Amino acid sequence: MAPVRKTPLSEAVHNKIQAHVKMHCEAFASDTVYLDTIGRIPGGQVVAESQSWPIREAFEYFQHLGVGRLEGDAFKVLDPDYFNIDKSQVIVSFSFSIDERIRSELHVMLDVYAQLYDAENQLRFYLNQKLQEKFGPNFVPHLPQHVQERIALEKSRHNSYVIDPRRAELEFVHLSDLKRIIVANEEFIASRRSRAVLIQKLDYLNSIRHLAAHNNLILPAEVTRIRYNCEIVRLIITGAGVLEMTQSPAMAEDSETVTSSGSFDAQERRVSAGGNGDVRSEHSHSESTAIP
């Protein structure tokens, strides 16, 4: 077993831990951070076992500054401005009684679902328009066979679908099917590099959907990554203007630039040792499921 290397509390490490406090408080709508959750710094990267981060030392320093109070493994933020925490978080009201043990988690999962729902349906609208332009309103026979079978299967279930004309038959397909349509119609995303990045992001987002659907709580740093990846999807399909995706602390593993044509100059590094899209939740049994 490799010897554990103690990482000094340098300015860079201090800033990373400070940024993690911000992400945690904003994602969970909470003013309390638990030291045992600071195991991923930044962006969902698992800290190597051979490296010991000065977590407690950092929070003792924060307490010395008077910006928070450390009690055991819990740190209560007293000065949100020090951590640059956005205090104007959206407060969601519920018309039913919420179990207080999951209230903060519910805000996180609502954020995750909203991001995924918006990005996925923007893609549905976009592909529906492109398919109609290429094949006309009766485009289903021109879809990949697997996608046609999916539509037929879902229609046969007699589920209570509300058909939106902006999505039409694509209402019945899964995110994996949207990817298949893009692969079969490369001209819909003209830039080869942009198309490759889009497919990669769809794989990642689909793995997140599986995690969230099976009651896995997504970690704060990963929520930030989800927002980032959903925005990449939106930028590609809208052919956004000249935009430079600056790195946030949670996105330190990615470096991407969007050009005026919507293409990407991307240096895709891995989120963790498991590779791209290898998402870890707080449940050890979670799996990152590839699009079937």
Other beta carbons less than 10 A from residue 148's beta carbon: 16
CA distance 280 to 217: 10
Please determine, for residue 86, whether its predicted confidence score (pLDDT) is greater than 70.
yes
CATH class for the region spanning 5-83: mainly alpha
Average pLDDT of every residue of the chain: 74
Beta-strand relationship, 5-6 and 51-52:
parallel
pLDDT at 177: 95
CA distance 115 to 63: 35
β partners of residue 31: none
Mean pLDDT for the stretch of residues 237-257: 45
β partners of residue 243: 258
Torsion sign, CA atoms 183, 253, 285, 26: negative
Task: Give domain limits for the chain.
Answer: 5-83, 103-268
- Name which of 152, 285, 276 is nearest 205 in CA terms: 276
pLDDT at 263: 36
Encoded tokens for 176? 């994996």
Express each pLDDT in 5-23 by its tens digit: 667 788 888 888 888 888 7
pTM here is: 0.58
